[in-house]
Structure 1
Amino acid sequence: MTVDRAVCIHGHFYQPPRENPWPGDVEVQRSAAPYHDWNERVTAECYAPNTAARILDEDGVIAEVTNTYSRISFTAAPTLLSWLERHRPGVYGAIIEADRESRERYAGHGSAIASCYSHLIMPLATREDRRTQVVWGVRDFAARFGREPEGMWLPETAVDIESLDLMAEAGIRFTVLAPHQAGRVRAIGAENWTDVAGGRVETRMPYLCRLPSGRSIAIFFYDGAIARDVAFGDLLSDGRRFAGRLLGAFSPGRGHPELVHIATDGETYGHHREFGEMALAYCLRTIEARRDARVTVYGEYLAAHPPTHEVIVRERTSWSCTHGLGRWQGECGCHSGAHPGWSQAWRRPLREAVDMVRDALAPGSAEALEHLVHDPSEARDDAVGLVLGRWSDESVEMFFSRHAPRDPSPGGRRRVLALLELERQAMLMQTSCGWFFDDITEPGSVQVMRHASRAMDLARQVLGIDLESAFIDILRRAPSNDPEYATGVAVYEALVRPAAATDLARIGAGAALYGIFGLVPLAVASGMYAAHGDWRYRLDADGRQSLLGTVRVLSRVTGDEALLDAVALFSGMDRVVVGVRETGGDEALHAAWEGMTGADPVGAVSGAFARVYTASNLSDEERWAIARRVLPGVGQAVCAVYRDAAALLRVLEDLGIPEPGVAAQLREHACTGRLLAMLEAGCPDPDHFSALAGEMRAKNLRPDLAALREAASRRIALSTGEAAARPEDPAPLEEVVRIAGCAKAFGLSLTLWESQNICIGMRGHYAGMQERAGRGDGDAERWAEAFRRAAACLGVRVT
């Protein structure tokens, strides 16, 4: 190839911070059902599939898989990677490994680029916040990927010169912008500029952007037409056509290097466009198989082809708002398209409210830190280490050893930690998603108000500043399009303030309730709190569960701590009582238990505990967690009722006496329970399973197909995992075949992604077993035959 023709596909993989700012983790989100929350849903539909994207053969069988992250350029957004690291470590690890693999493929240049930390609109932020966004983004990236980033993504590609200069100062070599963000260009060394406004810039080359400080940064302007067809058209319906469109964008007969490149939301590949990751994988393979073009990443291309032209960017522009930055500060007319008649008049008041909090808190916080640490700016930069360490004892000690002028008092430590958390929340409340969508009731808007509320909460505690009334006054001018909420104040009162009720006492109460069921509270699982319970009294009798003891609660984020007496009573989802108070000692605790075991336990709790919560006070997350734990018991109880009534129902059937209407439902549930038990046991007797399935069809009984589908999918995944762990044993593979066969009785559409990945990973072992079988090894032949049959059931080609 005499001329370098290269293709780069960039995916901006990002999820906003969805954590409740008080307990510190994502709570259940109803709109994401059947998943717990949107992070889980998008992971299942996009982030995980892209670690093992399928390429099918002509028979529709999986021929190969590819980790697309290792071949494309992608944004490593800290808020997303932080969640993946804690909740989907396998996916997280595959993404980190993909960057390592890409460095081997692309001459030492990785596929991942950094991102400004919390996805705020940089030109609308203060210089101090912009600097922190860049510094935290770089440090987060380096901690995860083990290298310094070459590139950095500007949230929404919202650009201004000062932000570019801060990035260049931090060692960033390039960024990516939309074509309409280029203003004027010229060859380096030339005198005259050419106006390229309106997206007329030549996108197949990098540009040098000179900065007032004397520094510079390279800018890649992506191909807007192809990017639009990927994101909003049907280009991902065919991976071959996708590749053809990219290859067709090279200039015919050009004698100099060219880079055809696009940038879209990474979620396009699988979440916004089902099977989009498969089209991407096929596209990449198609280009890689050619000799007249190659796949690359920005860092590699820039190293080989430094800019020959320079550019002046159009400041305060972005890729998703034709009005510059209007989408994040006013009623510009840009919206999602889901509600074309809705007003965005709420955006400006929300922006004003958030900016008011930011501008009021920043001076006081900076001044307070000056008296507590060597250098407030350096401490703020280094505070990202606390976040990365989830405020562990080690990370906190390391921070204070670097920044405290002397061994600080416990009060001084708590004050520093609270001030730094205040500043973190003040950045999170500026996240771009708060203004992107169509109404102030949208989750993104509610989330930024929650972060603002948390910042104001901390400001009351450590600065003595109360901004909430002023914040609410501004929200009165934010009209909602939802008739249930007149203004932003109603949204704040209904959707933000309840979350703000989470303090140490509430965490302690939750620990008691979760203690009944052996669950870990969300606030503890997040790492932001520690809760150590000493549950001295416990009772489980007559359908009522009771727990009483002391609990020590520590906020790792602020250092605040409390020792509390806590009690929990549970006798049903609508019969929950939880109490908490300052600890009163052993005698007081025993007296409380005496009252709880008497005739009126609820009254005893209400009389003895200062703060009492009932079922109506539970959060959706608490209700979800407890319901999931209790639900199996309900199923067992229904099956027990059926067993007790089975003989009577048979008599009624023999005598031709009409059954009560509930009888069919009891039979359905009981039969489903038996089927589930068979699946969970690996279907040792497929004929028995088929007979029961036939009996249900004959009697027009409807099984719980969703439960059967989940159980069969889960057991197949378990069996394939066992097959990988026991590479000489054909039994787990034979079990896969049995379960898949039983699933066909109901035409279940199984979830086989994980099982397929394991099976694909075993193909090398299959080749070895085939070789042994060819030499007359009967055990190897049995294993190879079992693997072929299991692979066929999973839709995987064995060679």
Structure 2
Amino acid sequence: MDRAVCIHGHFYQPPRENPWLGDVEVQRSAAPYHDWNERVTAECYGPNTAARILDADGMIAEAANTYSKISFTAAPTLLSWLERHRPEVYRAVVDADRESRERYGGHGSAIASCYSHLIMPLASPRDRRTQVAWGVRDFASRFGRKPEGMWLPETAVDIESLDLMAEAGIRFTVLAPHQAERVRVIGATGWTDVSGGRVETRMPYLCRLPSGQSIAVFFYNGSIARDVAFGDLLLDGRRFAGRLFGAFSRGGGRPELVHIATDGETYGHHRTFGEMALVYCLRTIEARSDTRLTVYGEYLAAYPPTHEVVVREGTSWSCAHGVERWRDECGCHSGAHPGWSQAWRRPLREAVVMARDALAPRSTEALAAHLRDPDAARDDAIGLVLGRWSDEAVEGFFSRHALRGLAPAERRRVLTLLEMERQAVLMQTSCGWFFDDVGEPGSVQAMRHACRAMDLARQVFGLDLEPAFIDILRRAPSNDPNYANGAAVYEALVRPAARDLARVAAGAALYGLFDLEPPAMYAVDGDRRYRLEEEGRRGLAGAVRVRSRATGDEALYDVAALFAGMDRVVLGVREPGGDEALREAWEKMVRGNQAGADLRVYTAADLSDEERWAVARRLAPGVGQAVSAVYRDAAALIGVLADLGIPASGAVTRLMEHSYNERLAAMLGEGCPDPDRFLALAGEMRAKELRSDLAALGEAASGRITLSAGTAAARPADPAPLEEIARIVRCAKVFPLPLSLWESQNICIGMRGRYADMQRRAEEGDGSAQQWARSFRRAAACLGVRVA
């Protein structure tokens, strides 16, 4: 009997980008990270590319890429963010699928996902088709193959969606056990009722579809999945494996597949060190001779369904009431606010559906004037997104779909319509309704996408849906006392995120002062005709051309920016008025005459959190330098006070603490070339009862250790970088400092093959190899890595 185990992780993050700018803005709740994508990547997505297996002494014996051994959802909105912001993690995920194909007979571990995670049974037929088409295209562009399986968001299922998936070449999907209605042996006449989760989960089923097509369905083991996601199974990888082994039937005579599906974020984000329990479980399974790991595609190829199933339409894995969680007050909630009402869900759904149904027919009609087949072009428009609206992507799209050669204005109209369509899809993302209040980030994000879609509709149709949209939101009560209803949330949190080209140009002028990159959604070009650099102030003025990559809309502006502190910012923008007019406006701004400058003016109060964050991050090192300069100027006086025994004021103490911390951080950043001096300085600090900045010192030490490890990997025979690692760790233990060693440990693990070679040469009498091997052993021990 063939016994196989498959663990599926649904790895997903919703779209978080500002719809006008194309960038994820700072999210305070994710601190100390910039946003939740960064945080979950640090806690889950990254660690799963190199999950640790520890030995009995707590040393890292091995690291494994779990994505290559489990089945996982390749969610487009997550992967697109990883590709831009964490390319090393993205490459590891893509490489894992390639590796898994070698392990699983040509069947990859990744499966596709409906593109933007909307609830398929609540979507229009048109949007369902596009979700499947975009999901397939996104997957193929990343993994270089067609997907065999596809994840339904929240496993929310309907027959039409399954039919669309089968038509697109999808062979299987995964559902919860309670989503099966009845089953029978293929060819039999009588059905067996398996509702209520009574379906046999250890086999795949055939689901026949109205079109004459069919798709296979795997129903996961619900009890084990619940204990992984919400219980304590991830406290012990061996116990996790034991539960999976125990789910096989006793003495069964047919092949069986024990499989589970949970959110992938369970492994490291929801459950700290969950990825370690996962990798230990996988290793335990691999060590068995009577059970093997598999993925759904491989198992389905070996064991096609012998039974067929009728699924329960309009059901999902995370709502006991079907799909009501995404449109009504059904009682399902996150658990964070048990007493809160979900009465806001229906009005938000009604507002979004109103906008969707108003825009769709107008868009189709408008596109038909320029494109051969508007629906086919819409499905193909994912190529524009994947190509970041490059000239090549745009040219290729119009060559395939345009009725004729289109004028520039016609092209911009088509691109604007397609971007409106994309935003109208994103506004339906499931997270808009999943949580507990209309003012929470998921709902706000859905409303922002709706706002952007309506913004574009105003531009292209002269149609203003926003008043009706807001009117519906007035019926969405908020649980947050700061907001009366969804309309108040919209006014406070949605509208301020909107940007027109002029505001983008003004922001670009601010970013130009600090050499920061403009928003991803825009190409910004310009000149800086006037600059100001003086004590306490900096500024610039010039002409800036701003072009939206997505729509092609562009405009030229005169801009000016003055910065004299985070609370003293002036940005000015206007239509071009010629060089002389710009010079006059600039001179008036410099003199403080903003009103006379004839510019649309923004001040510090108008800056977004992201703009404040970006500028503050750029300026923060200068604050430390300024404090150090004050200390240097006062050092002699501080010394006299100490000699005379005069108690230091709080301000003096803080200056001293900063100075010591800065010097220690500088030593760590240099690789601690003189450990004795470092230890002496740390001793002085302790004797004077000065507080150490553990976070800053730990960051400095961690950064240098990573740099040293990378240098060691690049210099095959040089022991110096390895010795530097040992010095830094020795110094770090004085406090002790919190060290982030994940990347340096990965490098060290990757160097163990070189160590084996050097150790062989050392045993043959090679003196330089002996020194390198000794240094590597010390560095590896400091990093907690077992060398053999």
Match of 2:255 in 1: 257
Secondary structure of the 2:116 match is coil
Contact 1:114 1:153 (8 Å CA) reproduced = yes
Aligned counterpart, 1:113 = 111
1:667 aligns with 2:660: no
In the alignment, does 2:723 pair up with 1:734? yes
What SS does the aligned partner of 1:183 have?
Answer: strand
User: What is the aligned partner in structure 2 of residue 190 from structure 1?
Assistant: 188
CA shift, 1:592, in A, is 2.9
| Alignment partner of 2:573 out of 580, 584, 596 | 580
CA distance in structure 2 between the partners assigned to 1:730 and 1:519 by the alignment = 38
- Partner-residue secondary structure (3-state), 1:318: coil
Letter in 2 for 1:101: E
Secondary structure, aligned partner of 1:35? coil
Distance in 2, matches of 1:168 and 1:641, equals 70
Structure-1 separation of matches of 2:699 and 2:629: 23
1:39-88, Cα deviation, whole Å (9 max, x unpaired): 00000000000000000000000000110000000000000000000000
Which of 8, 16, 36 is the equivalent residue of 1:10?
Answer: 8
Letter aligned with residue 416 of structure 2: A
Query: Which residue is 1:614 aligned to?
Result: 603
Q: What residue is the counterpart of 1:375 in the other structure?
A: 373
C-alpha displacement of 1:160: 0.4
Unaligned runs of 5+ in 1: none
Deviation at 1:596, TM superposition (A): 4.2
Question: Which position in structure 1 is the counterpart of 2:173?
Answer: 175
- Tell me the residue number matched to 2:612: 623
Whether the aligned pair in 1 keeps the contact of 2:66 and 2:279 (CA below 8 Å) is yes
Whole-Å separation in 1 of the counterparts to 2:253 and 2:650? 80
SS in 2 for 1:684: coil
Residue type at the aligned position of 2:509: A
Distance 2:503 2:539 in 1: 18
Contact kept? 2:560, 2:586, Cα under 8 Å: no
Post-superposition Cα deviations, 1:555-583, rounded to whole Å, max 9, x if no partner, equal 01111111111111111110111111111
**2:426 matched to which residue of 1?**
428
Per the TM alignment, residue 252 of structure 1 is displaced from its structure 2 partner at its CA by 0.3
Q: 1:177 to 1:20 in 2, by over 3 A?
A: same
State the Cα distance separating 1:649 from its structure 2 match. Answer: 1.1
> Which among 506, 512, 522 is matched to residue 515 of structure 1?
512
Q: Which of 778, 784, 787 pairs up with 1:795?
A: 784
SS class of match (2:528):
strand
Does residue 747 (structure 1) correspond to residue 736 (structure 2)? The answer is: yes
Show the counterpart of 1:297.
Answer: 295
Note the C-alpha offset of 1:660.
2.6
**Structure 2: which amino acid aligns with 1:210?**
R
- The aligned residue for residue 560 of structure 1 is 553
Moved more, 15-24 or 585-594: 585-594
Cα separation, 2, equivalents of 1:656 and 1:117: 69
Letter of the structure 2 residue corresponding to residue 509 of structure 1? A
Q: Work out the CA distance in 1 between the residues paired with 2:63 and 2:457.
A: 51
Count matched residues: 788
| Superposed structure 1 runs of 4+ greater than 6 Å apart | none
TM-superposed CA distance for 1:778, in Å, is 1.2
Q: Distance in 1 between matches of 2:695 and 2:554?
A: 44
* Separation (CA, whole Å) in 1 of partners of 2:364 and 2:598: 40
Aligned partner of 1:586: which letter? D
What is aligned with 2:687?
698
Q: Which residue of 1 aligns with 2:563?
A: 570
Asked if residue 409 in structure 1 is aligned to residue 407 in structure 2, the reply is yes
Matches within 5 A, 1:112-511: 112-500=110-498, 502-511=499-508
Structure 1 residue 684 and structure 2 residue 682: aligned? no
The aligned residue for residue 60 of structure 2 is: 62
CA distance in 2, matches of 1:472, 1:590: 43
Partner SS, residue 551 of structure 2: coil
The alpha-carbon deviation at position 656 of structure 1 amounts to 2.3
| AA in 2 matched with 1:265 | D
* TM-score, normalised by the number of residues in structure 2: 0.99
Partner residue of 2:101? 103
User: Which amino acid in 2 is paired with 1:174?
Assistant: F
Does the Cα contact within 8 Å between 1:511 and 1:533 map onto a contact in 2? no
Check the 8 A contact 1:579/1:606 in 2, yes or no.
no
User: For the residues of structure 1 that align with 2:586 and 2:226, how far apart are their CA atoms?
Assistant: 66
Cα deviation digits, residues 584-624 of structure 1 (max 9, x gap)? 22222222333345xx2x31x44224311110000000000
- Residues in 2 aligned to 1:682 and 1:537: alpha-carbon distance in whole angstroms: 42
2:766 partner amino acid: D
Q: CA deviation at 1:401?
A: 1.2
Task: Write out per-residue CA displacement over residues 446-470 of structure 1, whole angstroms, 9 at most, x where no aligned residue.
Answer: 0000000000000000112110000
The answer to whether the 8 Å contact 2:370/2:404 transfers is no
Asked if the contact 1:183/1:196 (under 8 Å) is kept, the reply is yes
Q: Secondary structure at the match of 2:488?
A: helix
Of the structure 1 ranges 470-479 and 533-542, higher mean CA displacement relative to structure 2 is found in 533-542
Aligned to 1:635: 624
Q: Equivalent residue of 1:353, what SS?
A: helix
Cα distance in 2 for residues equivalent to 1:8 and 1:463: 50
TM-superposition CA deviations, 1:227-283 (whole Å, max 9, x none): 000000000000000001001100000000000000000000000000000000000
Q: Which amino acid aligns with 1:582?
A: E
Root mean square deviation of aligned Cα: 0.8
SS of 1:458's equivalent in the other structure is: helix
For 1:270 and 1:43, the matched residues in 2 are separated by: 9
Q: Aligned pair 1:532/2:533, yes or no?
A: no
| Structure 1 residues 476-510: Cα deviation after superposition (integer angstroms, max 9, x where no partner) | 0000001111100110001000011x111111111
Deviation at 1:98, TM superposition (A): 0.3
- For 1:231 and 1:212, the matched residues in 2 are separated by 35
Report if aligned partners of 2:695, 2:738 keep a CA contact under 8 Å in 1: no
Kept in 2: contact 1:150–1:171 (CA 8 A): yes
1:226 aligns to what SS in structure 2? helix
How far apart, CA to CA, are the structure 2 residues paired with 1:306 and 1:57? 40
Match of 1:648 in 2: 637
| Whole-angstrom CA distance in 2 between matches of 1:713 and 1:54 | 19
For 2:21 and 2:33, the matched residues in 1 are separated by 20
Q: Distance in 2 between matches of 1:565 and 1:738?
A: 54
Q: Which residue of 1 aligns with 2:586?
A: 593
Q: Is the 8 A contact 1:365 1:463 kept in 2?
A: no
- TM-aligned CA deviation for residue 638 of structure 1: 0.3
- Offset of residue 773 of structure 1: 1.2
